[in-house]
Amino acid sequence: MILLTGVTGKTGGETARQLLAKGVKIRAIVRNAAKAEDLRAAGVELVVGDIGDAAVVRQALQGVEKAMLVLPNGKTQQANEQQFTDLAKAAGVKHLVKMSSMEAVPHAETPIPQAHWAVEEYIRASGIPWTMVKPNFFMQNLLASANSIKTQKKFSLPMGEGTTGMADIRDIAAVCVEVLTGQGHTGKSYEITGPEVLTFHDVAARFSEVLGEKIEYVPMAMDQFRSRMTGVLEPWHLDAVCGLFREIAEIGLDHTTDTFRQLMGREPRSVTQFVRDHIAAFRG
C-alpha cells in the first residue's frame, strides 16, 4: 500500500491519478472528503483528517510500505512533516518520498526552502530509506495569470528579469510515480526542471508564439505584489513567498538538469507544450 498526502492539490493529485492509471493501490489523507470524491470513486482509500493530527496519520499509515509527503508551504509545514516522519518510522514505512524544492539547499536564506531543507535533513537522519523530489518553479503557477493573459494580453509577476527552468507538474508527478513504483531510487535527490532556462519575458514570447498574438510580461514591484496578496496569504506565508520570488528576481534558478530525461527516457515538457495543452485557459 502506498500512502499519499496532498491529493486534492496539484502534484499530489496528479501523482494519484497517474498511479491509479497504472493500477497501483493507494490510500490518501484528505481534509475534505468531498474534494477527493473523484479519487475515492476511482479507488483511492481515503482517511479523512488533518495531517497535524497524529491519530489520523497513525491510522493512515497502517500496513503502508511507501509514503509520499506533499504539503503546502506554511508555518506548520516543517512540524507536520517531521511528525509524519516520526510516525512513518514507527509504522515501519520502508520508503519515504518527500516533495521538496530545488531551492532547498544547506544555506537557503528564505523560510520556505529552509523548512524543506530542515525536513530533508530530519528524514535523512530518521533511518527511513528516502527520496527527495526537488522541482523547479511549476509551469502550472502560470494558470493563476490566465485571466490576465486572456483579457489584457499581459501578465505581471514580481520576478523582475529573473530566470527559472520551470517544470510541468505532469512530469514532476511522473517522476514521483517512477520513484514510488520503480527500483533504485532510495537515497537519491532528484532536481526536476523543464528543458530550458527562461526569463518571464521569454515565457511571454512562448505564449505569443502559441496564441498567435503579442503577450507581454510586465515585472511587478515587490511592494505592489505584497499589498495585492495581503489578506490572501497569511503573514508568514506572504513574507516567505516574497523572499522566494525576490531570490528568483535577484539570483534566478539558472540551470536545468537532465534528471527527468535520465529517469523517464524522454524530454520534459516545454512551456510551449504547456501553453498548447492549456490553450482554452489562455485564449480569449
Ligand X SMILES: NC(=O)c1ccc[n+]([C@@H]2O[C@H](COP(=O)([O-])OP(=O)(O)OC[C@H]3O[C@@H](n4cnc5c(N)ncnc54)[C@H](OP(=O)(O)O)[C@@H]3O)[C@@H](O)[C@H]2O)c1
Q: How far apart are CA 278 and CA 270, in angstroms?
A: 13
**Nearer of residues 6 and 165 to ligand X, judged by Cβ:** 6
CB of 130 to ligand X, least distance (A): 16
Number of H helices, E strands in the chain: 13, 11
CB of 14 to ligand X, least distance (A): 8
Instruction: Indicate the helix (H) or strand (E) that contains 155.
Output: strand 154-155
* Cell digits of residue 247: 531570490
CB of 215 to ligand X, least distance (A): 20
DSSP classification of residue 138 = B
162 makes contact with ligand X (CB under 6 A): no
117 makes contact with ligand X (CB under 6 A): no
Q: How far apart are CA 270 and CA 70, in angstroms?
A: 24
Quick one: 110 exposed, middle or buried, by C-beta within 10 A (0-12, 13-18, 19+)?
A: middle
Site string for ligand X, 169-208 (x = CB under 6 A): ----------------------------------------
70 makes contact with ligand X (CB under 6 A): yes
- Closest listed residue to residue 165, CA positions, set 142, 141, 139: 139
Site string for ligand X, 84-113 (x = CB under 6 A): ---------------x-x----------x-
38 makes contact with ligand X (CB under 6 A): no
DSSP classification of residue 267 = P
CB of 142 to ligand X, least distance (A): 10
**Nearer of residues 146 and 283 to ligand X, judged by Cβ:** 146
129 makes contact with ligand X (CB under 6 A): no
Q: Which of 27, 111, 135, 203 binds ligand X (CB under 6 A)?
A: 135
Kindly report the backbone phi and psi dihedral angles of residue 167, in degrees, each rounded to the nearest multiple of 5, phi listed first. Answer: -120, 150
Given the rule CB under 6 A, which of 4-12, 123-131, 179-187, 212-220 is the region that contacts ligand X? 4-12
CB of 181 to ligand X, least distance (A): 19
Q: Which of 84, 117, 130, 137 binds ligand X (CB under 6 A)?
A: 137
245 makes contact with ligand X (CB under 6 A): no
Given the rule CB under 6 A, which of 117-125, 137-145, 206-214, 227-235 is the region that contacts ligand X? 137-145
- The alpha carbon dihedral of 121, 127, 128, 129 has a sign of positive
Quick one: 229 exposed, middle or buried, by C-beta within 10 A (0-12, 13-18, 19+)?
A: middle
C-alpha distances in Å from residue 51, one per residue of 29, 41, 130, 204, 219: 7, 22, 19, 38, 37
Q: How far is the first Cα of the chain from the last one, in angstroms, to the nearest whole number?
A: 44
**Nearer of residues 88 and 212 to ligand X, judged by Cβ:** 88
Sites for ligand X among residues 5-34 (CB under 6 A): 5-12, 29, 31-32
Using CB under 6 A as the criterion, which residues of the chain lie in contact with ligand X when the complex forms? 5-12, 29, 31-32, 35, 50-52, 70-73, 99, 101, 112, 135, 137-138, 141
